[in-house]
Amino acid sequence: MEPQASELDAFWEVARSHADLQGVPTYTGENAVGLLRPPAWSFGANPQQADRLLALVLDGTKTATASARADYDTFDEPLPEPGLLGIVLDGRAKPRALVVTTEVRVTPFAEVDEAHAAAEGEGERTLAHWRRVHERFFTEHAAGGFAPDMPVVLERFRRLYP
């Protein structure tokens, strides 16, 4: 389900007026991050996952995410980088949160650490739980499936709005 452009524009107007965009790092000199509407996306692979993970973002529990490096190559998308804004959608493709990426690193699945697993905020917040959940997710949804040595993009973010 694709979000309506008018809904995204309305959300962006409110979010950028409430978010501290001056505090978002930029690498181009002038801080122009508040001018263009950022991309919109949802967590997970289905509406239920999107809603569940969004709830963790909204309550401040989820401050990190992980994705298969191969997916970026498959869809010809650049890796996220610090300062990148994103509008997080719920399971009905409605804009619900504005986040900014604060850190990105790529590491083999088997080398993901306990701190990252806890920052993802899911379930037990342990590395063992993270590995079970993500192995299943990557097996079912990642380009090329799962492998213990597969590169994983680990992203930290900060919620700016609401």
| pLDDT tens digits for range 12-53 | 999 988 887 766 655 555 445 556 899 999 999 999 999 999
Alpha carbon 60 to its chain centroid, in Å, reads 13
Q: Which residues pair with 159 in a beta bridge?
A: 99
Question: Burial level of 29, CB count in 10 A (0-12/13-18/19+)?
Answer: exposed
148 within 8 A of 110, measured Cβ to Cβ: yes
Domain ranges of the chain: 5-161
143 within 8 A of 74, measured Cβ to Cβ: yes
Cis preceding linkage at 108, omega within 30: no
The per-residue pLDDT string of the chain (162 residues; one tens digit each, 9 = 90 and over) reads 677 888 999 999 999 888 877 666 555 554 455 568 999 999 999 999 999 999 999 999 999 999 999 999 999 999 999 999 999 999 999 999 999 999 999 999 999 999 999 999 998 899 999 999 999 999 999 999 999 999 999 999 999 999
Q: What is the DSSP string of 1-47?
A: -PPPHHHHHHHHHHHHHHS-GGGS--SSSS--TTTSPPPEE-SSSSH
Read off the pTM.
Answer: 0.88
Q: Assign domain 5-161 to a CATH class.
A: alpha beta
Q: Distance between CA 62 and CA 57 in Å, rounded?
A: 5
Distances (CA, A) of 89 to 1, 23, 35, 39, 63: 10, 23, 20, 10, 16
Cβ neighbours, 10 Å, residue 99: 22
Q: Which residue's structure tokens are 């569940």?
A: 52
Cβ neighbours, 10 Å, residue 70: 18
